[in-house]
Amino acid sequence: MANPSDINDRVALVTGGSRGIGRAIAVALADAGAVVAVNYRSRADAAEQVVAEIRERGGTATAFAGDVSIPDQARDLIDRVRAALGPIGVLVNNAGIGPVVELDDLTEDIFDETLRTNLTSAFVCTQAVLADMRAAGWGRIVNLSSAAARGPGVVGVHYNASKAGLEGLTRGYAARLARDGITVNAVAPGPVDTDMAEPLKRSGVADRIPVGRMGTADEIAAAVHAVVTNGFISGQTISVNGGTLYA
């Protein structure tokens, strides 16, 4: 009987996998033996660098273009990954945006774009992989949330709403898919030292984190790896925030 925690040779799709946290997750899953699809929207060179790094480490990876905030592109991405690599067993919904917008400057367009990218994309991609996972009787879905889902955050209410919705989506799917052998969890980082976090770094946020520093992308990737390789964790949000918030 196969080890239910083994992801060796499983196909893993990481959306937004060309940089930052997504890059670290793609590398960590490849190191664990997964065949990784590195999704990117516009940074083809960066995605190919991630693929090259994985291959240099002895892993297997391929880059796939696609804007998952557009449902037709998200579904097409899933179809192309399946055709090239095989049925998808691990889905990491990491693609996201976080434009820093003050309350009085927030528009409906910014709000809608943030929810499409951070929340709707996770729904569309999840729906698209369920047939593969149900057929296999095994699946792992991880949604990248944020400390902003449960705290005030510094990006804006549009970001709070998108990440809080993602955690609700996580619990709803987890409750309905457990009997199919599919676990669904969220990982909620606090401030992480990536290029997307430049506004946070300039604000001095590290001084307000109990551990005295921002997190690293590798630390978030380790949490994703932990839930992907544990079949008894489902419906949970794993907070990785340096002690900033307590679940």
- The closest alpha carbon to 124, from 169, 189, 174, belongs to 169
Rounded to a whole number of angstroms, the distance between the first and last alpha carbons of the chain is 36
CB 33 within 8 A of CB 9: yes
159 is catalytic: yes
Q: Tell me, rounded to whole angstroms, the distance of Cα 110 from its chain centroid.
A: 21
Strands of the chain (E only): list them: 11-14, 35-40, 60-65, 88-93, 139-144, 182-189, 237-240
Q: Which candidate in 40, 159, 173, 246 is catalytic?
A: 159
CB 172 within 8 A of CB 182: no
- The closest alpha carbon to 89, from 17, 35, 139, 29, belongs to 139
- The closest alpha carbon to 133, from 88, 174, 66, belongs to 88
CB 135 within 8 A of CB 182: no
Active site amino acids: 159
